[in-house]
Structure 1
Amino acid sequence: MARASVFLLLLPIFYLVGTAKSASTTTTTNFIETSCRATTYPQVCIQSLSSYANSIQQSPRQLAQAALSVSLTKAKSAKTFVTKLAKFKGLKSREYGAIKDCLEEMGDSVDRMSKSVTELKNMGKSKGQDFLWHMSNVETWVSAALTDDNTCLDGFSGKALNGKIKSSVRAQVLNVAQCTSNALALCNRFAGNH
């Protein structure tokens, strides 16, 4: 009987704690959804960043950092995928050439995204011209990474390369490009609101 009484007394407390957590999660999720509306691929943005809600909270800086990290992870994954394709037996010479070029582009994309992640992380509480300089570096590298992604895709244009290889690479790299585009938009938004 005493246990039941204690439980009934604690029930409202559990409810309030659960409601507070739920409200906090909802607020953070709303922040991510609202921010993602400013991107070119809002659904991709929401899907890729929602799992980072606890670390993002309502921080535009943390949101930009998470978006850069997601893009970097996807670029690394695509680079690994393209590396494996380059070792595939039976490739046509044009496919091999496009894969080799794409591999170089994805390597550059990974390098630039890595620099961007590090730059944003290490800029601390920079203000004024110092902040603008760091953010300019981030935006330049992310923009260049997006160009790398698109250049990789351009290498597979034309009907001669139609087939499974092209569609596989395209699916991987297109996802990277969309995440990179979103990361650039969120970095621009963070820089503009600072």
Structure 2
Amino acid sequence: MAAAKLLFLAALFLSLSYLTGAAGNAAASNSFIKSSCKSTTFPDVCVASLSGYAQAIKNNQLQLVKTALSVSLNKAGSTKGFVSKMLKFKGLKPREYAAIKDCVEETSDSIDRLSRSVNELKSLDHSHGKADFQWHMSNVETWVSAAITDENTCTDGFAGRALNGKIKASIRSHIANLAQ
């Protein structure tokens, strides 16, 4: 959920001042990232996730948003891989297997939606005017929101005491990390 808030806030920053920013030194870039991350739910995670890309982000809000989405997309891919491996465990209860399988599907849907968002942001480079920009940003917001819903649906599949255990805790931990 925090990843989504980061993305929504970054999108909001972007929509308020679309072409702000230019090249700056590493200190200024890191300062820009820290400043942008302050308004997120998990500012330390935001900074840690994006600071390695400071040279690419510079002080450019559009690049910040693109990078945040790309980092989230990569993390979603890793999370899907982890959850998929859980299907191979021996001795899974039928309900556990079904919940894990559903989670893999939800994570795949998140990957698709985040991929669409990344591609939509690429369209911004060729957009013409405020209306075109707002249309692209609306698409990004819709797909990111849907990706968050997918993550929540994944963890909802493990609700109840019947699924308590290491698998549930491990998957929830990975999904929470992805959301942050």
Q: When the two structures are superposed, what TM-score results if normalisation uses the length of structure 2?
A: 0.83
How far off its partner does 1:125 sit? 4.6
Deviations 1:75-117 (A, max 9, x none): 0111111111112211111111110111110010000000001
Q: Given residue 159 of structure 2, which amino acid in structure 1 is its aligned partner?
A: S
CA distance in 2, matches of 1:33, 1:153: 30
Q: Given residue 138 of structure 2, which amino acid in structure 1 is its aligned partner?
A: S
Q: When the two structures are superposed, what TM-score results if normalisation uses the length of structure 1?
A: 0.78
Moved over 2 A (4+): none
More helix by share: 1
Instruction: State whether residues 123 and 136 of structure 2, in contact with CA within 8 Å, keep that contact through their aligned partners in structure 1.
Output: no
Tell me whether 1:78 sits opposite 2:79 in the alignment: yes
CA RMSD of aligned residues (A): 1.2
Q: Given residue 161 of structure 2, which amino acid in structure 1 is its aligned partner?
A: K
Aligned residue pairs, count: 156
Tell me whether 1:68 sits opposite 2:65 in the alignment: no
Deviations 1:158-181 (A, max 9, x none): 222111101110111111112xxx
CA distance in 2, matches of 1:49, 1:40: 15
CA distance in 2, matches of 1:62, 1:111: 20
Q: How does 1:1-194 map to 2 (within 5 A)?
A: 24-126=25-127, 127-178=129-180
Q: Which runs of 5+ in 2 are unaligned?
A: 1-23
CA distance in 2, matches of 1:86, 1:123: 39
Q: Given residue 164 of structure 1, which amino acid in structure 2 is its aligned partner?
A: K
Question: Greater Rg, structure 1 or structure 2?
Answer: 1
Q: Which runs of 5+ in 1 are unaligned?
A: 1-22, 179-194
Instruction: State whether residues 150 and 177 of structure 1, in contact with CA within 8 Å, keep that contact through their aligned partners in structure 2.
Output: no
